Amino acid sequence: MFGEFDVYTVTELTSEIKHLVGGRFKDVLVEGEISNFRLYPSGHLYFTIKDDSAMIRAVMFNASGRYRKELIGDGVAVICRGRVDVYERRGEYQLIVSAIEARGLGLLQLKFQMLKEKLFKEGLFGADKKKPLPVLPQRIGIITSPAGAAIQDMLKIIFGKFENIHVLIYPVRVQGDEACREIVEGMEHFNNTRGVDVIIVGRGGGSLEDLAPFNEEIVARAIHASRIPVVSGVGHEIDFTIADFVADVRAPTPTAAADLVVRAKSEFTNLIEGMRSSLDKAMRKKLERSRLALYEVVMTLKERKNIFVSQRMYVDELLNNLVHGFSAYLRDRRVRVEGFAQRLKDLNPENVLQRGYSITFKKDTGEVVVQASQVVPKEDLTVRLHEGQLDVSVIETTA
């Protein structure tokens, strides 16, 4: 009765179905909710993807270490990428998964929240862990990309407020797989050399994926372990990263980080001038009160001169000594304040340049050259003089 039909064995029919299904669904995205989640000792991940009306078995081979159960588990809405295959031994079709992405917050956001909670519980965000920034840093370390706009903005702010401050740049990648390692190496470099008073770490704005290196645990722990105060300036004002929470100070942008670290030289000049003026007024006022008090004593003694003739000369001597003593003390205070003012004046690079000295910068990065080993032959430099500047090229270096 079946003579006109082809007869398949079970294996043959299953093989045909496998060929048809596999050829039709080579690369598909399937959205659903995970259930029956199981991670086998082999490292393979087995689960079911379901919606309100249907379900499909799924397997992800060698998934161990790629996804954590806290992020991908029962009840999590996901999108799976993979291919449809037929498991011939059971005659079942299944999805062979190559990648999983959580729906809603997404994997990166979930990882961010989990790491934030973990480090918070460990106390890494505590105010008692924050180190104060130096009032007047002599050397600033910056960990960022030398090619980005952020470094140019930071240098403009820093040198605009205090032109003769030293800046050391540790160049790193600020996104991608290698960024975390390089940022950590930059933190270790500055802490091992102790060559800077404060560290700025950051980059310009970007997506959550772009800012991912600053949400990694190794970067957070490197910032927390730093013995040097760290300012985090990552992204835009609305962006928050784990680095922001761990750093001693969080700045909304890289430019704001530079502005926080450096105070304008004019602030210190005005402060010294204000201190000198206040000291002068205070001493004059105190001296005047002393003179009035002594004058009253003298007048009283004069009224009783018949009784205190000998004491009168003694009081006059005390008055004279006191006046001279206060005058000498006031002169000493003035000399000290003027010394502070002269010291600040000596630090002004313009005065140094007037004496025949010059400042040499690397033309491409603006880095101040203090050693011959910093440059190589044919490298372009800018030499700043008291009047004007010279653009030069290195012919030869001598250590």
Integer Cα distance of 253 and 182 in angstroms: 21
**Full-model pTM:** 0.48
Show the tokens assigned to 184: 């950590």
pLDDT at 184: 95
Residue type, 63: A
- Residue whose C-alpha is closest to residue 382's, from 374, 393, 371: 393
CA angle 377, 383, 145 (to 5 degrees): 70
Give, for all 399 residues of the chain, the pLDDT tens digit: 555 667 778 888 888 888 887 778 888 888 888 888 888 888 888 999 998 899 999 999 887 666 655 567 777 888 888 899 988 888 888 999 988 877 755 667 767 888 898 999 999 999 988 999 998 888 999 999 998 888 999 999 998 888 888 999 999 999 888 999 999 999 999 999 988 999 999 898 877 778 889 999 999 999 999 999 999 999 888 878 999 999 999 999 999 999 999 887 777 677 778 788 888 888 888 888 888 888 888 777 676 665 555 666 777 777 788 778 778 888 888 888 887 777 777 766 667 667 777 888 888 888 888 888 888 888 888 988 878 888 888 888 886
Region at 63 (left for phi over 0; alpha for psi -120 to 50; beta for the rest) = alpha
pLDDT at 41: 84
- Residue whose C-alpha is closest to residue 242's, from 264, 273, 285, 211: 211
- What are the CA-CA distances from residue 285 to residues 274, 278, 288 (Å)? 16, 11, 5
- What are the CA-CA distances from residue 214 to residues 84, 109, 155 (Å)? 37, 13, 22
Integer Cα distance of 70 and 111 in angstroms: 9
pLDDT at 67: 63
- Residue whose C-alpha is closest to residue 228's, from 194, 185, 257: 194
- Phi, psi torsion values for 65, nearest 5 degrees: 90, -20
Q: Are 295 and 318 in contact (CB under 8 A)?
A: no
Residue 360 CB partners (closer than 8 Å, separation 6+): 368, 369, 381, 382, 383, 384
Q: Are 139 and 164 in contact (CB under 8 A)?
A: no
